[in-house]
Each structure stands twice: as C-alpha cells, then as structure tokens.
Structure 1
C-alpha cells in the first residue's frame, strides 16, 4: 500500500527526516526531547530503525544526531549489523562513528550485567571441572592440524579462574600459549586479570558500571582500513529446524536406546538433526581486484576469529599503493523512491549499495551425551561461566553457549559434538569434576558416598609474583651480582692513577649510594676478591704494554 507524505511523516517521523537527510531539524527535535524512546527505536516497514536507515543511506550527520540521542547501535536487519552496513558504505568517518559507539554500548551492557552475573555466581555451589576441547575435521590434512586443549575451570563464590593453552587461530596457524583468566567479584564490581605465563605479563581491567558520559576512543586509522579492505562475513547456526532424536543400538528387531559411559557417568546418546551452518559474505565495498583475489584456503576453513573483527585476506591499503575505498553519493546509494520503500511491498532492489552476497548452507548432525545424575547444574553453574568466557575469550565459547541455550532433552551434556565451520567440528567433554579423577592444584576433594564437593584455596585466585604490567615497556636487562662485581673490577683497572678521593667507592659503583648498615663478613670477602681481580687485570695490561 502506497502511503502519502503526511502518512509517512506521521507514522515514521524520524525515518522521514533521515530519508531526506534533514539532520539539522532532526538534531533540534532530538535535543528538545520531541520523540520517545519507542519512536527512537521504531522499525519501518523494511525492518530498519532510524539509525540503521541513516547508516545504510550513508547519512553521517543524521547518524551522529541519533547516536548523540542514545540510539541503539547494536541494531540489525537480516543478520547484518549497523557496523557492517557502515563498512559496506565505504565511508571511513561513518564507520568510525558507529564502531566507537558500538564498543561503548557493548561496554555499558557488559558492565551493567556484572551485578547480575556476580549474584548468579555467588548463589551457585563451588566446583572445579575440566572442559576438554577436541577439534576434528573430515579433511585429512586439516584434521592433522587440529589441536586439542583442556580448559581448567575453578569457581568459588563470585571468583572464577580459567586456565588454557589454546588462544585461537590466525594466519593459518593455531595460536598456542599459556594463559590464565581470573575474574574476581568485589561488591557490585569485578576485576578481570589475564596472565601470560610465557611472557610473564599481567593485564588487569576493572569492570564496573560505566560512568555517565564516558566514551570509547575512536578506532585507529589502521583498524578502519582493515575493515574497509576485508569482506564482510557472518556465520551462525540456524536452529529453527533442529530436532532431537534418541540414538539406537543393536540389530534390527533387537534395537534399544543407546547409552555410553563418559568419564564414569552413564549417558544417553542423542542426535540433533537438521543443524544448518550458514555462512554469508558481502564484497560490494571492495574493488574487483580484492573481490577476485585468492584467499588462503586454510584461513577460510579454520578461521576461529569472529567474522566481524577478522583481518583482511589481502594486504592492507597504503597511500603509496592506491586510494582507500570511497563512500558513494546519495544518488548512487539510494535509487529507490520513498513511495516504494515505505509501502512495504516487494522491491526489485533494496536501498544502499547493491549487495553482493555469497551464501553457503550446509547441514550437519550434532551429537549429545546427556546424564541425568551429573553433579553439576547446567543453568546455575555452567551457563554463567560460558557467558563470561564468551565475552573475554575465544568465540567458539559463544557458539557452544548458543547451542546449549536451545531446548535440550533432560540431562547434563557431559559430551557435545557440534559443528563450528563447514569442515571443522568441536567435541567438548566435561570431566575430572571436583578433582575426583586426578588431583588438581589448589583443589581439595571432599567425597561422602556418591556425593562429592570440593574446597578451593585462596592461592587459586591470586596473581602470584614475577608478573609485570602488560602495558609497561619491556624491562631492561639487569646484571646479576657477580657480573656487577666483574664490571666494577674492570672499571677500577681502567682508571688513571690518582688520589684516594678519585677512586670510586664499591657501593657507589654497585648501588649508587653508601650502605645503610655494616657489611657482612662474607660480602666483604667478595669485595676483597674484587679488588684482587682488578689488580690482576691491571698487571696483565701492563705486561701486554711492555
């Protein structure tokens, strides 16, 4: 149904101003609080909020006015977010605006959820469990490259610690490391610490409700170039058609429900059918060379990074090579009339740049091993941990969380095998609960009959010594005690002859100050050896001179 101008401006007043890019009037109305919050997030007949419409049309000034008024940047249509639409426009200024605001709103949403997360953690019983991740593939070469890792999860009160050695996948290589994440609840706030045991560094962040008016810094020019030079991709599991079926064992006529033991627990085996893995890629913002440039095959098969933040598969743009992608004019972006758009009827094409989408859909079968008497509770104990790890660690935790949030059959999923990408599956197994199978550091298992629990030491959630701030510069190497004595001896041997006042005192050479207390007898002996060594060096030099 075709609407008149009055009908459109009355039903969708903000959309109408955005469509005509009347940003001055829009800004004035927003500053005067003329619109309600519902109108600010109202969707038009095509399913776009005013902000998403402004971004899709490339109207930077209107988008700025809506963002200043508090519009939600985490909006989407057909799975494509405002950040991805800004990337598609090729407008670096618009992308910077939307990206910085999205990061800020994510930070606010995350920090506001901290009190509720702390409440859930405090109410849940304490536990220790190990999550074994095994990555498999039907491709022989890829299967040989797939690693495995065991996440060790400690939970006591509102404190959580996770140890891992698998960080992610980048540049066709699995990223290994030795990391520990420590989340410590403190009242209504929390602290998050990431320890890199190999580098000896500690990265600390205070997580608390964001202060009003705080803003995230704008992304760097390099980060914007990376996004503008890379395809836009989304990957998700389509769960609308999933159905669960109990697996059978035996031969025809004697078939029965299948059960298997997993880490000492008898589990029922289920299959999740019609699991569809959907991958979509957009390239309309790239030039022809980048659209057709070959991509490293394993990078496409195994990339575990979130597609929204993936690095480009082609070299970054540099001023010496070519110009960065340019945003197109309104005439290029918008060839659809307002009558067509607001009518809600089918259109030959949508607004914005003509989308160039490559879509792949592949069906998989997931497998679950469920136990009804497992000592852990999925919703109370495991889901808060998955929420936390999905936010601070690898994105495959987010995929596991999305799968578990479905309406699963009764029981705890002791073992799960789900698809991550078209050729990559993940098998997750829970084991060593409370440290009953094998001992764990800082964990004391308490067993009484078939019931078990554990007590975690305070040292489990402490940083320990020997770590430096990850943001601090690399420390300069210091000489050990013997090396400094040798250095002093050589320095003394090279000095010209002079009075006693010309000589450098031992403590001035080693410490830069005199000792606050008498020296120990053994230390004095070492200094005597130092003087003897310097004397021998000087004799050797005189001998060589002669």
Structure 2
C-alpha cells in the first residue's frame, strides 16, 4: 500500500521557436497524499492567447466524499472555491460542437515503437557515464533515442471560409496577438454540408479486397507529420517512490493539461530507477523538462484536504473546468 508522502516537481517549458520560447511559463507543483486524499498546489492558472496567468491554486481530491463533492479547486488569492463536475450544460455542449465543426481535427501521439536508451557521456578527453545529483537524489543520465511525435490533421469538413479564418487566427497568435483581437466566435450551424451521394453498391463494398474497402463519405483531406525529439532522462535508484505508485497518483490529476503527457511518458519502458528528471514533448514545438526536486514520507494536518471556512463558493470561477 502506498503510504503518505509529499512530492515536489518543477516544470520548465522550452521551444525551438525564439519568440515562443521567451513567453513560455514554468511551474512549481506540490503534491500531498494522505490515505485516499490528494492535494495539488500549483502556481500556473492558465496559458492562453500567448499570455501566462499566475496565481495560487489548489486541487483537492477527497476519496471519502460523494462523487459530486469529491473534487474541488481553490483560488487561494481570492479565497473562493469551485466544485469540479464532469457534466456539461446544453449550451456548453453546443458551443464545443460549433468549435469542432469549424476547426481542424488534430491528433498527436507519442510513438515509442523504436525507442531506446543509451547512457549519456560527459568529459572531453576521457569520456565516462554521466551521473549527477538531481535535487537530493543521485541519478544516471540516459539519451532517449527514437522518440517521435506523430501528428495528424484533417479538414475535409471545413469550408474555404473556415480554412482562411483559422489561418488568419494562427498567424495573429504567432505574432503575439490574441483571440480577442480576432473577435473569435464559433460559427453557428445546424449541420455540416452533406458529402456527395455515394454510388458504391453494397455488393462492391463487401467483395472488396481485405484492407482495401472503397472509401465512403467525404474524400479525406489529411496531413501527417512526424518530428523526432532529442530527449534525456535521469534515473535514480535512490528515489523512494516507484513508477507504478506515481501513475496511480497521476491517474487522479491526469485530466489537467500537461500532467497527462507526464503520465504517458512514464508509462514507457524506462531504464532502472525512477525518472527524477525528464524531457516531455507536449506539442510539436514545445518541450517540457520535469524535475522531481523533493520527496519525503510525511504526515499532514487533515485540514489541508478541506475547504477553509472563510472561502466562498463561486461555481463560475473556472469556466473551463
């Protein structure tokens, strides 16, 4: 059974795009685990429209509470809280559908089929395996080879107007603009334009060669790209937490942005030890370096997993949750 502990990790985001690299945020996260309760403290509220919004947030998961009350986020500066529900209103669903119908279908997967690890070397004349301390832990450094981010983009459902509008928005963002300057509002439409009538008969379809069935519906407009990443990972056998235990904790907080990428990365077949420092590609142009600075088994006052009495509920404080 996983005991109670305190874990501290730091995120640093980098990009090979010079302008983007200057505005990317960093974050320091603190995770407390006691029994079936988990608390995450973070300083990064949001990163949208090329702007970083700082703050003081706490996500609290109470395993003993009812599902409707088990997950809450605290704004410690404004002293308000919001319960996180997984049910969306009808209007929110309609807005999300409108955005999807007028945007590219984009997916990105981290391919680890050909991944391998080799020991990182240090020194000019006399090369030796790189071993350094990361925080309080001695770690062996490895080069990650064959790490590929595969992205796919489809747009056969878009009109020419949609494509030109989306292109203008992306060009504005790349120059430091914002969505508000573009007066961005989803296009309201009842349905997509239906595809041309298909002339393929049922007999032709079922008699086609295995794996080569005739295409039905719209003709695909798909663009695929692959980017190979140079990454490093530092593995420590002194770290008292196992990877499986970390995955169990991340299972609770994984839906929140970059944590899901961390969870996907540590599921790979890593070298022996615990990954106390690693590089994670989170977008095609952005890589995050995660460092586990501190870990200790500890006991906490149960009050840190409760909503303070002077906090007021604000159901609309975080509209994206």
2:287 paired with 1:430: no
The yes-or-no answer on 1:337 pairing with 2:207 is: no
CA contact (8 A) 2:120 2:141 kept: yes
Q: Which residue, 149, 154, 158 being the options, matches 2:36?
A: 158
| 1:317 aligned residue | 187
Superposition TM-score, scaled by structure 2 size: 0.85
**Offset, 1:168:** 3.6
User: Closer, same or farther in 2 for the Cα pair 1:334/1:367, shift >3 Å?
Assistant: farther
Relative to structure 1, the CA distance from residue 422 to residue 298 in structure 2 (aligned partners, 3 Å threshold; closer, same or farther) is farther
1:466 positional shift: 2.2
Query: What CA distance in whole angstroms lies between the structure 1 residues aligned with 2:193 and 2:303?
Result: 55
The alpha-carbon distance between structure 1 residues 296 and 281, as it changes in their structure 2 partners (threshold 3 A), is same
Could you give the per-residue CA deviations for residues 214-243 of structure 1, whole angstroms, max 9, x where no partner exists?
Answer: x97645433322221121111111111111
Bigger Rg over Cα: 1
Q: Say if 1:233 and 1:280, in contact at 8 Å, map to a contact too.
A: yes
CA distance in structure 2 between the partners assigned to 1:129 and 1:274 by the alignment: 30
In structure 2, what is the Cα distance between the partners aligned to 1:352 and 1:367? 44
Q: 1:185 and 1:151, CA in 2 relative to 1: closer, same or farther beyond 3 A? A: same
| Cα distance change of structure 1 residues 171 and 127 upon mapping to structure 2, 3 Å threshold | same
In structure 2, the partner of 1:364 is 229
- In the alignment, the residues of structure 1 paired with residue 103 and residue 64 of structure 2 have an alpha-carbon distance, to the nearest angstrom, of 41
Q: How many residues align?
A: 307
Tell me if the contact between 2:82 and 2:316 (Cα under 8 Å) persists in the aligned partners: no
Partner of 1:191: 70
Q: CA deviation at 1:425?
A: 0.8
Q: Secondary structure at the match of 2:307?
A: coil
Question: Which of the numbers 146, 151, 170 marks the counterpart of 1:296?
Answer: 170
Question: RMSD value over aligned CA atoms?
Answer: 2.9
Give the drift of 1:199: 3.5
- Which of structures 1 and 2 has the larger relative contact order (alpha carbons within 8 angstroms, sep 6+)? 2
Contact 1:236 1:279 in 2 (8 A): yes
Per-residue CA deviations over 1:175-206 (Å, capped at 9, x if unaligned) read: 43321111111189671111122343212258
Deviation string, structure 1 residues 339-362 (Cα, Å, up to 9, x no partner): 443334354852221111122211
Partner Cα separation in structure 2 for residue 336 and residue 408 of structure 1: 49
Structure 1 pair 147–426 and aligned structure 2 pair: CA distance change class (3 A): same
Cα offset for 1:171? 2.2
Rate the CA distance shift 1:328–1:398 in 2: closer, same or farther, 3 A: same
1:409 match: 271
Please say if residues 129 and 433 of structure 1, whose CA atoms lie closer than 8 Å, have aligned partners that are also in contact.
yes
Aligned partner of 1:286 among 142, 158, 161: 158
Which is richer in strand? 2
Show the counterpart of 1:469.
313
Corresponding residue SS for 2:41: strand
Q: Does 1:244 align with 2:117?
A: yes
| Mapping for residues 502-541 of structure 1, pairs under 5 Å | none
Gaps of at least 5 residues in structure 2 are 177-181
Match of 1:262 in 2: 134
Using the alignment, how far apart are the partners of 2:316 and 2:94 within structure 1? Answer: 23
Matched, 1:384 2:248: yes
Gap regions ≥5 residues in structure 1 = 1-122, 208-214, 303-311, 435-452, 474-546
- Which residue of 1 is the match for residue 106 of structure 2? 233
**Structure 1 residue 404: Cα displacement:** 0.5
Q: SS at 1:400's partner residue?
A: helix
Deviation, 1:155, is 0.6
Structure with bigger helix share is: 1
Q: TM-score, normalised by structure 1?
A: 0.52
- Displacement, 1:417? 1.1
Give CA deviations for 1:491-537 in whole Å, capped at 9, x if unaligned.
xxxxxxxxxxxxxxxxxxxxxxxxxxxxxxxxxxxxxxxxxxxxxxx
Structure 1 residue 285: Cα displacement: 1.0
Choose the corresponding residue for 1:420, options 262, 267, 282.
282
Change (3 A) 1:290 1:314: farther
* 1:290 Cα offset (Å): 1.6
* C-alpha contact (below 8 Å) 2:250/2:259 kept by paired residues: yes
Deviations 1:116-160 (A, max 9, x none): xxxxxxx20111011100001122211110111101100111110
C-alpha separation between the residues in 1 aligned to 2:284 and 2:101?
25
* CA distance in structure 1 between the partners assigned to 2:110 and 2:173 by the alignment: 20
Report the Cα distance in structure 1 between the residues aligned to 2:99 and 2:133, rounded to whole angstroms. 48
